[in-house]
């Protein structure tokens, strides 16, 4: 079966940047994010064994979401200055390594990733999304799994893991997040309703629509009052949390795993001072040449 690995670029770049504090090139430029990202991508390839892969980057915030909630993601800190130039160099690496990469202005990576996963699902490919973003739990299905780098078990999440984490089914994640909100994205939830209460409500009513249609059956007067007051907030949150449909037309060949271009990659490793990676690259290229001769 074809297996697509979709990597949340900014998620892994930030993780790499914070995981390795001090690393610089011979010229003194920071390279911690570059090195960590390369090592993480290699580990993902080894564990997932994809036939196809792509790294997707944020192109900015969704205008539609900002119109609905101007404070959307407003609390996020600025990118650390030493990281900025490293992102461009990570792009250089991906190009030389012949790994598909995509970024489109004004389009959030989450929406592109969702589009790719849904397209792959329709063609009966298996897909693994590598990201720590909990919004992707809404996509989990028999053909779409989620690999969270914060999960030390390194298990690809299926519906079972989503239920264990949240108490609801993947198809209820949008409603669950709409009730509890998302502090990471600066989306307020219903005051006084936490993850367990939200899960219990969805177990009882199935969906937000049914919940609001049968509010009189909510036993707790406090919860019933909070839901009544926050009805419009919850409905708005659903549009914020639900991953949008965007354009994501890629051919299978564009996404196919290919051998890196060693002639282009070697100078990058030399510039960054990645001696171990450079030695491994040269050894691999030598083996490939010998195999051709044989």
pLDDT in tens, 17-61: 999 988 999 999 999 999 999 999 999 999 999 999 999 999 999
87 lies in the same domain as 227: no
pLDDT at 249: 84
Query: Distance between CA atoms of 266 and 226, rounded to whole angstroms?
Result: 60
Average pLDDT over residues 268-281: 96
Residues contacting residue 67 through CB under 8 Å, at least 6 positions apart: none
Q: What is the pLDDT of residue 292?
A: 47
230 and 251 in a common domain: no
Residue range 232-248, pLDDT digits in tens: 999 999 999 999 989 88
Domain CATH number, residue 211 = 1.10.150.20
Q: Are residues 7 and 72 in the same domain?
A: yes
Q: Does 61 share its domain with 153?
A: yes
pLDDT for the residue 291: 52
Q: How, if at all, do strands 181-182 and 187-188 pair? A: antiparallel
Residue 289 pLDDT: 61
68 is in which domain, residue-wise? 3-165+244-290
What CATH number corresponds to the domain at position 144?
Answer: 3.40.50.1010
Window from 19-23, 90-94, 263-267, 273-277 with minimum mean pLDDT: 19-23
Q: What's the confidence (pLDDT) of residue 25?
A: 96
The total domain count for the chain is 2
Burial of 51-82, coded b for 16+ CB within 10 Å and e otherwise, reads: bbbbbbbbbebbeebeeebeebbeeeeeeeee
Mean pLDDT of 193-199: 97
Same domain, residue pair 195 and 86: no
pLDDT of 76-113, one tens digit each?
A: 888 999 999 999 999 999 999 999 999 999 999 999 99
């Amino acid at each position: 079966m074809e297996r697509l690995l979709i990597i949340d670029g900014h998620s892994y770049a930030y993780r790499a940047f914070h995981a390795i504090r001090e690393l610089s090139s011979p010229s003194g430029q920071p390279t911690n994010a570059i090195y960590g990202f390369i090592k993480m991508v290699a580990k993902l390839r080894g564990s997932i064994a994809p036939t196809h892969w792509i790294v997707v980057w944020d192109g900015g915030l969704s205008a539609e979401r900002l119109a609905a909630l101007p404070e959307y993601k407003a609390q996020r800190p600025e990118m650390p200055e030493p990281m900025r130039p490293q992102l461009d160099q990570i792009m250089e690496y991906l190009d030389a390594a012949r790994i598909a990469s995509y970024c489109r202005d004004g389009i959030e990576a989450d929406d592109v990733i969702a589009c790719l996963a849904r397209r792959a699902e329709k063609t009966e490919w298996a897909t693994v999304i590598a990201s720590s973003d909990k919004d992707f739990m809404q996509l989990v299905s028999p053909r779409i799994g989620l690999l969270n780098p914060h999960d030390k078990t390194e298990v690809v999440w299926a519906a079972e893991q989503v239920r264990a984490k949240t108490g609801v089914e993947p198809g209820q994640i949008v409603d669950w997040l709409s009730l509890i909100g998302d502090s990471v994205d600066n989306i307020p939830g219903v005051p006084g309703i936490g993850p367990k209460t939200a899960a219990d409500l969805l177990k009882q009513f199935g969906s937000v629509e049914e919940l609001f249609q049968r509010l009189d059956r909510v036993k707790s007067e406090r919860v019933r009052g909070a839901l009544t007051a926050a009805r419009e907030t919850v409905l708005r949150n659903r549009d914020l949390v639900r991953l949008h449909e965007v354009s994501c037309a890629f051919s299978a060949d564009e996404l196919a795993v290919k051998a890196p271009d060693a002639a282009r990659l070697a100078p990058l490793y030399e510039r960054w001072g990645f001696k171990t990676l450079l030695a491994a690259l040269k050894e691999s290229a030598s083996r490939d040449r010998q195999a051709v001769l044989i």
